[in-house]
A and B are shown apart, each in its own frame.
Chain A
Amino acid sequence: DIQVTQSPSSLLASLGERVTITCQTSQSISNNLNWYQQKPGQAPMLLIYYATSLQTGMPSRFSGQYSGRSFTLTITSLEPEDIANYFCLQHYSAPWTFGGGTKLELK
């Protein structure tokens, strides 16, 4: 099974700050990784698919990059509505596996 290690598990950031979240996979998965945002009481929403593609309707301050087995989600300038939990998912091979999540909070 492919393990997905997400870091940090929690993050305090200020409005306007640049935020970076990372997922590291135990095996190469090419670009088969998605990023999601989940707010309390809501279903997750797709932010980034295939590692770098911004989902339609999502703000351009969100971006995804990858190099080898390391994947990053970046928020270029944190907005109040970005306070949420963030997850990654590798869908390269079954069993699909999620990262443990990052809880993003305001400093």
Chain B
Amino acid sequence: EVQLVESGGGLVQPGRSLKLSCAASGFTFSNYYMAWVRQAPKKGLEWVATISTSGSRTYYPDSVKGRFTISRDNAKSSLYLQMNSLKSEDTATYYCARGSVEDWGQGVMVTVSS
């Protein structure tokens, strides 16, 4: 069974940084592209980042490009999202997702507020 478990969320002040982690199990992690998707409170979904199997290629929308960095550690079956220069509009539940968003974690809440 595919399991994706996010951690690292919380309350952070605008302009500060936060790093999310996702522990994957139940599949061969190194064989899959991985992604982060977020959902602001009472809002729709927004794709945040995707990383290739080796980690050599990464993709971001303009809304987070230059501020967020996706990375992975295949030896640890773990995915990460480093979020810098956080803004209030980054407040959302962040989901770790496998492949073309076939499987989702339970999500972790990030609140950016002073």
Say yes or no: is A34 at the interface (Cβ < 8 Å to chain B): yes
Say yes or no: is A98 at the interface (Cβ < 8 Å to chain B): yes
For A89, the chain B residues whose CB sits under 8 A away are 45, 47, 100-101
Main secondary structure of the interface of A (DSSP, over half): loop
Q: How far is the CB of A43 from chain B (nearest CB, A)?
A: 4
CB closest chain-B residue, reference A33 = B100
Say yes or no: is A64 at the interface (Cβ < 8 Å to chain B): no
The answer to whether B59 touches A43, judged by C-beta atoms less than 8 angstroms apart, is no
A interface bracket (residues with beta carbon within 8 Å of B): 20 to 34
The answer to whether B47 touches A101, judged by C-beta atoms less than 8 angstroms apart, is no
For B107, the chain A residues whose CB sits under 8 A away are 43
Q: How far is the CB of B81 from chain A (nearest CB, A)?
A: 15
Q: With A and B bound together, what is the CA distance between A45 and B95 in angstroms? A: 12
B interface bracket (residues with beta carbon within 8 Å of A): 10 to 19
**A68-107, CB < 8 A from B:** 87, 89, 91, 94-101
Given contacts A94-B59, A95-B62, contact A87 B104 (CB under 8 A): no
What 1/0 flags go to B53-69 for Cβ under 8 Å of A? 00000011110000000
Kindly identify which residue among B47, B62, B103, B104 contacts A98, using a CB–CB cutoff of 8 Å. Answer: B47
Kindly identify which residue among A32, A43, A95, A100 contacts B95, using a CB–CB cutoff of 8 Å. Answer: A43
The answer to whether B47 touches A97, judged by C-beta atoms less than 8 angstroms apart, is yes
Q: With A and B bound together, what is the CA distance between A46 and B104 in angstroms? A: 9
For A101, the chain B residues whose CB sits under 8 A away are 44-45
Q: With A and B bound together, what is the CA distance between A55 and B104 in angstroms? A: 14
Q: With A and B bound together, what is the CA distance between A36 and B45 in angstroms? A: 11
9 contacts across the A-B interface (CB closer than 8 A): A32-B100, A49-B102, A94-B59, A95-B47, A95-B60, A95-B61, A96-B35, A98-B44, A100-B44
